[in-house]
Amino acid sequence: MSATTSTRTGTDTGADARPSRNIRPSRSSRSVRAPRNVIGGIFGWIWLAVIILPIYYILVTSLRKQSSFYSENPLLPPAEPTLESYGTVLTNGFPLYFLNSLIVTIVSVGVVLVVCVMAAYYVVRSRTPWARRTFSVFLLGLAIPLQATIIPVYYMITQLRLYDTLIALILPSIAFAIPITILILVNFLRDIPNELFESMRMDGTGDWGMLWHLVVPLAKPAIVTVAIYDALNVWNGFLFPLVLTQSANTRVLPLSLWTFQGEFTINIPAVLAAVTLSALPIIVLYIVGRRQLISGLTAGFGK
């Protein structure tokens, strides 16, 4: 009996010890390749060319001389590349205009982020009707176009005696950046599980602690998204600087392009050199925060 059992056991062990053959998946289980979207690829390359061509033209033209601007082919590289236009820009008040734009953008975006993060936390965590009404008031700001408010804004700025100051640019920029910032942050904060808030509440953490140690780290993609979006709008803003400022000391980069406009001619290479220099900070900001940009924009909208 024991011999028979040992024989069977040995046979089974030997069978199990044999290497198993690789089982090839059937054709039905293999992944089927999706058909190539040739038409979509063609339109994608066309759209890429539409985007790249103006950028190429700006860079190439900024390296030309003013005297050869009208004599050379605008789409070919310059025969004699030069940085003369960049020198002209840097010696005609560009550092001051750059500093003014930097101050307006940093202060505006910083205040918007601080206010909107706290407001979004209140809207998401509060269960009172007042929180829902507050959110509705913020969303109402999206329906008001900026151009329709320029006269009331101008009147208020002049009555406050802030005309031709950087504060006159900062305050309206903050006001018009709040609605879209609140919308993005609220939709992102709603995706944070409620259990995380309750567990921190049981540990004795207050609202300020949860806001700083939970909401801010988890909402980093949304914060980076609204920071880039708001900074882009403030940096490229033209209407408020045009109406609310006058002197050269408060001039920002969008208005600085007028510096290179003469009575009869316009220094096109210098203008495009100024455009190139003014776009560099936004490009750097986008490169730093590009990973969080898409996730922050799409958060909460797929529900």
How would you write 17-56 as a 3-class SS string?
A: HCCCCCCCCCCCCCCCCCCCCHHHHHHHHHHHHHHHHHHH
- As a whole number of angstroms, the longest Cα–Cα distance in the chain is 115
pLDDT tens-digit profile, the chain (303 residues):
444 444 444 444 444 445 445 555 555 445 556 677 888 889 889 998 898 998 899 999 999 888 888 888 888 888 888 888 888 888 888 889 999 999 999 999 999 999 999 999 888 888 888 888 888 888 888 888 888 899 999 999 999 999 999 999 999 999 999 999 998 898 888 888 888 888 888 888 888 888 888 888 888 888 888 898 899 899 988 899 999 998 888 989 888 877 676 645 678 888 888 888 888 888 887 777 666 666 655 554 444
User: Which amino acid would we find at residue 80?
Assistant: E
51 and 103, same domain (yes or no): no
Q: Specify if 186 maps to a domain.
A: yes
251 and 146, same domain (yes or no): yes
Q: Specify if 125 maps to a domain.
A: yes
Q: Specify if 214 maps to a domain.
A: yes
67 and 104, same domain (yes or no): no
209 and 292, same domain (yes or no): yes
Chain-centre distance for alpha carbon 174: 16
137 and 233, same domain (yes or no): yes
Q: Which of 283, 234, 231, 257 is nearest to 97 (CA)?
A: 257
48 and 109, same domain (yes or no): no
Q: In angstroms, rounded to a whole number, what is the distance separating the alpha carbons of residues 151 and 132? A: 30
Q: In angstroms, rounded to a whole number, what is the distance separating the alpha carbons of residues 144 and 160? A: 23
288 and 169, same domain (yes or no): yes
The residues pairing with 266 across neighbouring beta strands, listed in sequence order, are 261
Six-digit token string for 36:
């190539």
Last residue of some domain: 64, 82, 100?
Answer: 82
52 and 186, same domain (yes or no): no
Q: Which of 228, 236, 142, 130 is nearest to 182 (CA)?
A: 142
**Per the structure, how many domains does the chain have?**
2
54 is in which domain, residue-wise? 41-82
| The CA-based dihedral angle spanning residues 159, 161, 167, 173, taken in that order and rounded to the nearest 10 degrees | 20
Is this prediction's pTM over 0.85? no
Q: Specify if 31 maps to a domain.
A: no
Q: Which of 106, 143, 147 is nearest to 281 (CA)?
A: 106
Chain-centre distance for alpha carbon 276: 18
62 and 167, same domain (yes or no): no
What is the 8-class DSSP label of residue 73? -
Per-residue buried b or exposed e for 40-64, using 16+ beta carbons within 10 Å of the residue's own CB: eeeeeeeeeeeeeeeeeeeebbbbb
267 and 235, same domain (yes or no): yes
113 and 194, same domain (yes or no): yes
* CATH number of the domain encompassing residue 260: 1.10.3720.10
Q: Specify if 36 maps to a domain.
A: no
Six-digit token string for 251:
């001039």
Q: In angstroms, rounded to a whole number, what is the distance separating the alpha carbons of residues 269 and 274? A: 9
User: Which amino acid would we find at residue 29?
Assistant: S
Q: In angstroms, rounded to a whole number, what is the distance separating the alpha carbons of residues 57 and 72? A: 13
Last residue of some domain: 54, 82, 110?
Answer: 82
225 and 272, same domain (yes or no): yes
